[in-house]
Amino acid sequence: MSRLFPFLFLLLSGSLFSQLKFDTLSHRRFQTITTPAILIGYHYAGDAKDNTETFRASQMHIIEVVFARIIEYGGNHGAARVLYAGSDFIINNRHGFFMAPKIGVSSSAGIALGAEVQFQTNFEKVIPRIMPYFGFGGGGGKLTVGYNFRLLKVENFPINTLQIGITWPIKRFKEKTT
């Protein structure tokens, strides 16, 4: 009787937790689909700091608008890569309005990893920054946490250190299947 339990466990777990046949025989199984899209997002950054860490600026609210190229690999459980260029529009109570033109790349298969290079400006000076991020995502959308690193030593511009955001495609254009 004790030898029957491992056999029943393997039999039931294999039948209950395996994939369904129609899921693995998807028509998109090995296709790569490239889609241009417009992505929009909202990011929140609390406790912005300058490089001297002598004062704390107010929180930042960031609206992201980018044009992206979404490349989806595989079928129903595939992955996606997103190449994008656009701009962040940053509203800060203490320092006013900023813009941050940027370029970036993101890769996702349930877990999203990516990085972007930003050029934050208040129309008087430009500060380059790099922001790696991670989170959850797929199909061009993502929920991420990122951290901005400055690329110049001397700057008196607030840096939005920890940033939490969500980005989603609002308009997809014609798909190209390869």
pLDDT value of position 133: 94
Residue 8 inside a domain? The answer is no
H or E element at residue 13: helix 4-16
Whether 12 has a pLDDT exceeding 80, the answer reads: no
Percent of the chain with pLDDT over 70: 71
Residue 14 inside a domain? The answer is no
Residue 93 inside a domain? The answer is yes
Percent of the chain with pLDDT over 90: 31
Residue 114 inside a domain? The answer is yes
Residue 12 inside a domain? The answer is no
Instruction: Tell me which residue has tokens 């989806």.
Output: 72
Residue 13 inside a domain? The answer is no
Whether 151 has a pLDDT exceeding 70, the answer reads: yes
Q: Which of 72, 67, 31 is nearest to 171 (CA)?
A: 67
> For the whole model, what pTM was predicted?
0.74
Instruction: State pLDDT tens for residues 25-81.
Output: 555 456 788 899 999 999 988 765 555 444 455 678 899 999 999 998 876 667 889
Query: How many Å apart are CA 120 and CA 3, to the nearest integer?
Result: 66
Phi, psi dihedrals of residue 16, rounded to the nearest 5°:
-85, -35
Range of 146's domain?
Answer: 30-173
pLDDT value of position 162: 82
Query: How many Å apart are CA 163 and CA 168, to the nearest integer?
Result: 16
73-91 average pLDDT score: 85
Instruction: Please give the tally of structural domains in the chain.
Output: 1
Residue 63 inside a domain? The answer is yes
Q: Which of 100, 147, 156 is nearest to 123 (CA)?
A: 100
CATH of the domain at 154: 2.40.160
What are 58's two structure tokens?
């107010």
pLDDT value of position 134: 93
Q: How many CB atoms lie within 10 A of CB 147?
A: 15
